Structure 1
Amino acid sequence: MRSRRIRRAWLTTAAAVSLAFTGPMAPARAGDVPPGGSDPAVQEPLAVEAAPSSLAATGWTSPGGTASPGDFTMSPGALNSETAARVARLDAVLPKSGVQNLLAGANRTVTPWCSRDPFGTAPDPDVKYCLQSDDSTSPEWVPQGLTGVSDAKDNELWGEAGNIQLFASYDGSDPGRETDPDPTTGDCTPAELEADDACNQKGVRITFVQSRTNPATGTPEVKYRHVLLGWTYVNSAGHVSFDGLHASEYPIQKGVHAGGIVWYGNYLYVADTRNGLRVFDMRYIMDLDPDGDPRTHDAMGADTDGVRTTADTEDKTKVGRHDNVWYSFGYRYVMPQVAAWKFKATQSNPTGSYACVSTGAPKASYISLDRSATPDRLIMGEYCRPKTGYPSTGRIASFQVAALEGRTADVTAEGWANYLPLANGGAQGAAVHDGTLYVNESKGTDEPGNLWRYKWSNGQLVASGQPVKTARGAEDLYVERGTGRLWSLSEHRPGSASDCTANRDAADPVGTDYCQRVLYGHKSSWVDAQP
């Protein structure tokens, strides 16, 4: 097997359209794939790619101007039926956990209102959740997308559980992917894996967060738990297995960015930037440690070969089935992808920059849900930075979210589509509620971000007031209807030369208090009242 580094060097010179059919190389330890088998690195969705058009500005109107909803049309993933069959096989082998059981056993703790302050001179939010220190500073996991039970259910309850937020993080630290000293051995040598389990490409994880009352003590608490997202495939022995998520988004980003997520009913939609949407199902959260004791290596079921298997959640260096043992990079829970939606138009956004074409397939940089519309609508938008020949500030459009549950016919954005009014682009997240479009714009690590408000006027998006200052590294947006909060989260961490330099001092030489990640919520009534 050739290394990922060698493969990527080839990709930079090969025709981009071939990428849609070949995909990147499989990660280390996946095993060779026999003829007729499935390659874990070829994952749905896979939009058709081509070189950027020389007419890149075609269709461009102006910041805030109308765009073509038809460019956002998505088709069902070609592997949807096969994916469903693999998930059914996996379901027969691995036990499941419901969302409420997962939350009841949440093993990590949020500290509300700690000293970490990515807001600086910006106004404090209505609520601030600080993650445990390792999650706040992890170079491996970078938080991006955000959703919650207010999106999932009209009554904002999952069974009897409420006050739930979910956020997605992508694997942003892979020493084996970019700095492997021996490229002939693949991504990670055994020595590298032993020294740093981050060497593996783990893809994306979803974090379930809940504010609740501890049933034993009667005191309020906020707890959370990570869940690894997975892609099912058939391994070299003919067994169903799973891997982390991967996508052909290099060099723009490392793998699936998960810049936006939406929980709607049983389904979790995850943005796959250059391809479309990946779909997951809350009814298929696999539990590899049902007794809650990682040391026991619990018994699992048998695949079609009839061989009984076990699970090992102590070993963080492997994923999927190896020698009749299931691994999951050390995570107790794994949620496999069940379907996909891919852009129907050719993806021709330029690589190597954040510029965007003005027509054709967009980027799925972030998504959110508008439950204030009838019917409920999924919002999809682009992160773009205009440059010569590519004036687009990023398009945004909406779909009827219920149409995405059918998976048998194309789904087209409808109702409206616009270019964002941001002159310099840079939208990290957007949400619509009661006719207002809220957009988060990050301004880097050394100054607060901007929370913009826009209204529609004769089909054009126009600013409604001045931008509201918010956190550094402001990301996705989520409307929590019952509390009237507009939630977001910050992505930066301290430690590198470029992080929070304007706020370092003798007492805080690495900007620790300014850049550690937080979840936060502004009262939307307060936001709307700002000048």
Structure 2
Amino acid sequence: MPSRRIRRAWFTAAVAASLAFTGLVAPAQAEDVPGSDPTVQEPLTTETAPAPFAATAWTSPGGAASPGDFTLSPGALNAETTTRVARLDAVLPKSGVQNLLAGANRTAEPWCPRDPFGTAADPDIKYCLQSDDSVSREWVPQGITGVSDAKDNELWGEAGNIQLFASYDGWDPGRETDPDPATGDCTAAELAADDACNQKGVRITFVQSRTNPATGSPEVKYRHVLLGWTYVNSADHVSFDGLHAAEYPIQKGVHAGGIVWYGNYLYVADTRNGLRVFDMRTIMDLDPDGDPTTHDAMGADTDGVQTTANVQDKTKVGRHNNVWYSFGYRYVMPQVAAWKFKATQSNPKGSYACVSTGAPKASYISLDRSTTPDRLLMGEYCRPQTGYPSTGRIASYPVAALEGRTADVTAEGWANYLPLANGGAQGAVSTGGTLYVNESKGTDEPGQLWRYQWSNGQLVQKGQPVKTARGPEDLYVERGTGRLWSLSEHRPGSASDCTANRDAADPVGTDYCQRVLYGHKLSWLDAQP
């Protein structure tokens, strides 16, 4: 839940000026003092002090847990959010997914020499991100999904071979000591000089493997899209900010550890709260002519004032002096709804320990289309410690029920503690009765992919863990190719092991910790001992 420091910061011009100096959140730089606090973002689950350990709650790794703890309730601001997004939609032009992909401006390289696998077997396919994304200190990859989740025929219109991954803003120089308001925040000058001072929240990256229509050659192109949260300020202007959540010191906002694209909707995990919902039909385009220097005309809000957009200035977001900014991103996708945990959230803050009952953590999500109905899985990243033995719970929902947003959605009648004795699940996906779970082993060795099956209500291990990339994250099944996709999160310089293969002659090198998207064949995985 946002800190009181942030929640109460918007009500006077003096406080707004103070925040502009300290650089707490980007809207503090706006011309208008917000009338509703954009940092109070849905979902907001009720929180209490950490629950005491109850011996009767914990069963065992792989044992049954309570599915009732996973019940989701519609966000309290869903109706208001719908109204705000409709207003924003009337002001800003839109772009469909296919148009966005057609103009993708970044290139991924299949089978480049970057190698986070080390002693692990090579995957069936590997995409290397552009160098700046591969080594970015600011953007950390997490969740992954794709068009195979979105559509039964694995096509979005006529477009196929699409993956999406989420990254969170993990570095805000000058802000590392938050939430202490007295030290560590960016000054106004620092904000203007270095856009990394802004806390941008989450971005989604659309990736497509295709044939270049001009050359006939295969290529892999991608484009980043900023996720947004709408609000209305004191001048009655609709505006937007990046995604925020107060989850210090574990992270500086929404972690986006799991995402699922299903139909028109994109579901994003919000760790302590539930799910945020976005709509592919409301991707806003702030540079429709494709020329950033022209500062294209936008529409008018209810005040009737015509606005323009500026995608060159990376230090601002939202409406400022009748100009729209988006931290330099051409595309913005606003949140349209939320689902929050109905149970009280009592997981201890500042710890990877997890309670055994009550609201879970939405550490990652995935989709299983091999069942009827299609189901969305949700699980926890946990590290057991004294008093908190949970290895992390996992449960599922009928994903179509999440489109209603008028009544509670309950889990499907089962839940289990993960069989990982030491916890640490970064992502999990189920298909054909097998649950695949990624476990990170840090930067010093390959991660491990575990396989489990259900037997008499228990999750039991199937074979031995399979070595995979260092820093493996979320999981996504691409049904048509039979691939299990994931991505790696580490970057050079994040640990001593992440600089092992670099030298003056090759400063980028074949570093163990440069980020890649990769896919293993399910048939190969299932054949492993």
TM, length-normalised to structure 1: 0.93
Larger deviation: 169-178 or 118-127?
A: 169-178
1:57/1:357 contact within 8 Å kept: no
**TM-fit CA distance, 1:248:** 2.1
Q: In angstroms, what is the RMSD of aligned CA positions?
A: 2.3
Question: How far apart in 2 are the matches of 1:483 and 1:239?
Answer: 47
Q: Which residue number in structure 1 is paired with residue 191 of structure 2? A: 193
Distance 1:252 1:320 in 2: 27
Name the aligned partner's letter for residue 210 of structure 1. Q
- The answer to whether the 8 Å contact 2:27/2:318 transfers is no
Determine if the alignment matches structure 1 residue 368 to structure 2 residue 366. Answer: yes
Q: Residue type of the partner of 1:217?
A: T
Residue of structure 2 equivalent to 1:353: 351
C-alpha displacement at 1:496, in angstroms? 3.5
Structure 2 Cα separation of the partners of residues 5 and 111 of structure 1: 42
The 8 Å contact of residues 58 and 359 in structure 1, kept in 2 or not, is answered as: no
1:386 aligned residue? 384
**1: CA distance, partners of 2:118 / 2:503:** 14
Cα deviation digits, residues 71-93 of structure 1 (max 9, x gap): 00010000000000000000000
Q: What CA distance in whole angstroms lies between the structure 2 residues aligned with 1:497 and 1:438?
A: 27
**Are positions 1:73 and 2:71 aligned together?**
yes
Conservation of the 8 A alpha-carbon contact between 1:56 and 1:390: no
**Partner of 2:360: helix, strand, or coil?**
coil
Shift of 1:194: 3.1
Give the equivalent residue in structure 1 for 2:286: 288
Q: CA shift at 1:190, angstroms?
A: 2.6
- Aligned equivalents of 2:277 and 2:494: distance in 1? 34
Aligned ranges 1:382-461 → 2 under 5 Å: 382-461=380-459
Deviations 1:129-176 (A, max 9, x none): 000000000000000000000000000000000000000000001013
Q: Can you list the C-alpha shifts for 1:319-351, whole angstroms capped at 9, x where unaligned? A: 000000000000000000000000000000011
The change in CA–CA distance for 1:184 and 1:467 in structure 2 (over 3 A counts) is: closer
Structure 2 contact 26–317 (Cα < 8 Å) conserved: no
Distance 1:465 1:39, change over 3 A: same
Alignment check: 8 A CA contact 1:57 1:358 kept: no
Q: Which residue of 1 aligns with 2:305?
A: 307
Q: Is contact 1:286–1:334 with CA below 8 Å preserved after alignment?
A: yes
Q: Give the counterpart of 2:106 among 105, 108, 113.
A: 108
Query: Residues 186 and 508 from structure 1, CA distance in 2 versus in 1: closer, same or farther, beyond 3 angstroms?
Result: closer
Deviation at 1:507, TM superposition (A): 7.0
State the AA in 1 paired with 2:362.
A
Equivalent of residue 84 in structure 1, options 82, 93, 105: 82
Choose which of 60, 63, 83 in structure 2 pairs with 1:62: 60
TM-aligned CA distance change 1:462 to 1:369, over 3 Å: same
Secondary structure of the 1:438 match is: strand
Residue 129 (structure 1) aligned with residue 127 (structure 2): yes
Determine the C-alpha separation between the residues in 1 that align with 2:30 and 2:503: 52
Pick from 344, 369, 375 the counterpart of residue 377 of structure 1.
375
1:338 corresponding residue in structure 2: 336
Partner residue, 1:318: 316
Tell me the distance in 2 between the aligned counterparts of 1:226 and 1:105. Answer: 11
Match runs of 1:504-519 below 5 Å: 513-519=511-517
In structure 2, distance between residues paired with 1:449 and 1:503: 19
Cα distance per residue 1:237-257 (max 9 Å; x no partner): 210000000012222211000
Note the alpha carbon deviations across 1:48-69, whole angstroms, 9 max, x for none: 1111112355411000000111
Residue 226 (structure 1) aligns with = 224
Name the structure 1 match of 2:14.
none
CA distance in 2, matches of 1:324, 1:177: 28
| Structure-1 separation of matches of 2:336 and 2:142 | 21
In 2: Cα distance, 1:219 partner to 1:456 partner? 45
Distance 1:498 1:72 in 2: 39
Q: Any stretches of 5+ residues in structure 2 without a counterpart? A: 9-22
Counterpart of 2:384 in 1: which secondary structure? coil
For residues 501 and 173 of structure 1, do their structure 2 counterparts lie closer, same or farther at Cα, with a shift above 3 Å needed?
same
Q: In 2, Cα distance between the equivalents of 1:36 and 1:242?
A: 11
CA deviation vs aligned residue, 1:264-321 (integer Å, no higher than 9, x gap): 0000000000000000000000000000000000000000000000000000000000
Q: Which runs of 4+ in 1 moved over 6 A?
A: 32-36, 504-511
Aligned-partner SS, 1:175: coil
The number of equivalent residue pairs is 513
Determine if contact 1:57/1:389 at 8 Å carries over to the other structure: no
What amino acid maps onto 2:493 in structure 1? Answer: G
Q: Is the 8 A contact 1:363 1:382 kept in 2?
A: yes
Shift of 1:417: 0.8
Q: Which moved more, 1:352-361 or 1:170-179?
A: 170-179
Q: Which SS does the other structure have where 2:309 is aligned?
A: strand
CA–CA distance in structure 2, aligned partners of residues 314 and 412 of structure 1: 45
Counterpart for residue 13 of structure 1? none
Question: How big is the shift at 1:5?
Answer: 9.9
Q: SS at 2:176's partner residue? A: helix
- The runs of 5 or more residues in structure 1 that have no matched partner are 11-24
Aligned to 2:242: 244
The aligned runs of 1:96-175 (5 Å cut-off) are 96-175=94-173
Cα separation, 1, equivalents of 2:507 and 2:204: 31
Cα deviation, 1:95-137, whole Å, max 9, x if unaligned, reads 0000000000000000000010000000000000000000000
Secondary structure at the counterpart of residue 452 of structure 1: strand
Whether the aligned pair in 1 keeps the contact of 2:53 and 2:388 (CA below 8 Å) is no
Question: Is 2:40 aligned against 1:42?
Answer: yes
Alignment check: 8 A CA contact 2:395 2:415 kept: yes
CA contact (8 A) 1:69 1:413 kept: yes
